[in-house]
């Protein structure tokens, strides 16, 4: 095998490491695999045979999605197994998150095909009057709409500490207070109908929600069907020239009643503002 003073020429090292010469030069520039010797005249590179261990680890790290900067850092940290394992654990979590994003994107592609096929189903919209009710409520700024469940988790022990008693067949819902859709830092309030006023333990509150009229469209199943519901509500509001307030959902059947999204029933409501 080609060698010089017990070193491997770059071509031989490339073959044995399964890293192209171009990539070896790139790795050198970023401090990943620094040659053991470089000819000052020709710039030709030689590597120690022991560097193949680092090279093989670099390939594994690359295939696992680590950046070249992270690879360089980890190759110099092999004497700190706990630190390396922590980095591996963090990368595993990041890949899981990316996997969820990819699955969501694949689902969105399916919905694109449905939309292009003109198979959007319009929903019936009705004007519904909700009677005045006493509710326990919890309102916070959340990272995103998908984080609403955090409020419900926080609310449950607060209800017990406050002595609040849910009404028979209590309505449960969420109100979205931002005047328009937001990508992050969303103002969400979850609420539950109770039998009567109670002394709320902060940050839980107790209030009487006045009677209100709303345009209501029902969504059955998971929230992939929400665009059709929004289109139906939009058409209804425009046709009737209605002014509306902050949207709220009423969860007739939600995750608390069934873990199967196919069973969920949500009334999507736009309160009507009368002059």
The DSSP 8-state label assigned to residue 151 in this structure reads H
Q: How confident is the model at residue 81 (pLDDT cuts 50, 70, 90)?
A: confident
**Contact status, residue 274 vs residue 213, Cβ threshold 8 Å:** yes
Cβ neighbors of 259 (< 8 A, separation 6 or more) are none
Higher per-residue confidence, 152 vs 256: 152
pLDDT tens-digit series, residues 183-222:
999 999 999 999 999 999 999 999 999 999 999 999 999 8
CATH 1.10.1660.10 range(s) for the chain read: 3-76
| C-alpha–C-alpha distance, residues 55 and 118, integer Å | 53
CATH 3.20.80.10 range(s) for the chain read: 125-271
Residue with tokens 């969400």: 188
Return the CATH architecture of domain 3-76. Orthogonal Bundle (1.10)
**Contact status, residue 270 vs residue 244, Cβ threshold 8 Å:** yes
Choose the weakest-confidence range: 1-15, 28-42, 142-156.
Answer: 1-15
| C-alpha–C-alpha distance, residues 157 and 201, integer Å | 10
> What predicted TM-score, i.e. pTM, was given to this entire model?
0.65
Question: Half-sphere exposure (CA, 13 Å, Cβ side) for 265?
Answer: 5
Q: How confident is the model at residue 1 (pLDDT cuts 50, 70, 90)?
A: very low
Q: Reduced to 3 states, what is the DSSP secondary structure of residue 79?
A: coil
Cβ neighbors of 30 (< 8 A, separation 6 or more) are 68, 69, 72
Return the CATH architecture of domain 125-271. Alpha-Beta Barrel (3.20)
Output helix, strand, coil percentages for the chain, rounded to the nearest 5.
40, 25, 35
Using alpha carbons, select from 25, 21, 12 the residue that is nearest to residue 52.
Answer: 12
**Average pLDDT value for the chain:** 91
pLDDT score of 275 more than 50: yes
Residue 202's H or E segment, with its range, is: none
pLDDT tens-digit series, residues 138-179:
999 999 999 999 999 999 999 999 999 999 999 999 999 999
State the CB neighbour count (10 A cutoff) for residue 249: 20
Q: Where are the alpha helices (DSSP H) in the chain?
A: 10-17, 21-29, 51-63, 68-75, 81-116, 148-162, 226-239
């Amino acid at each position: 095998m080609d060698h010089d003073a017990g070193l491997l020429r770059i071509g031989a090292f490339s073959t044995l490491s399964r890293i192209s010469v171009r990539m070896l030069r790139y790795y050198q520039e970023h401090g990943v695999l620094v040659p053991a010797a470089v000819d000052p005249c020709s710039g030709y590179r030689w590597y120690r045979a022991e560097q193949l261990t680092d090279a093989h680890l670099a390939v594994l790290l690359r295939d696992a999605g680590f950046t070249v900067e992270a690879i360089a850092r980890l190759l110099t940290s092999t004497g700190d197994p706990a630190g390396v394992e922590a980095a591996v654990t963090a990368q595993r979590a990041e890949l899981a998150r990316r996997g969820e994003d990819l699955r969501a994107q694949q689902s969105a592609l399916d919905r694109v095909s449905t939309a292009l096929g003109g198979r959007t189903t319009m929903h019936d919209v009705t004007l519904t009057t909700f009677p005045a009710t006493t509710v326990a409520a919890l309102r916070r700024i959340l990272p995103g709409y998908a984080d609403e469940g955090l409020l419900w988790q926080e609310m449950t022990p607060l209800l017990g500490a406050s002595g609040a008693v849910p009404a028979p067949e209590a309505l449960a819902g969420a109100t979205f207070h931002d005047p328009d859709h937001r990508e992050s830092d969303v103002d969400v309030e979850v609420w539950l109908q109770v039998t009567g006023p109670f002394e709320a333990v902060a940050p839980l509150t107790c209030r009487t929600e006045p009677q209100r009229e709303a345009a209501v469209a029902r969504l059955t199943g998971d929230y992939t069907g929400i665009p059709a519901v929004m289109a139906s509500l939009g058409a209804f509001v425009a046709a009737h020239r209605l002014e509306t307030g902050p949207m709220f959902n009423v969860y007739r059947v939600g995750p608390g009643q069934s873990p199967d999204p196919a069973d969920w029933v949500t009334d999507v409501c736009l309160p009507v503002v009368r002059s």
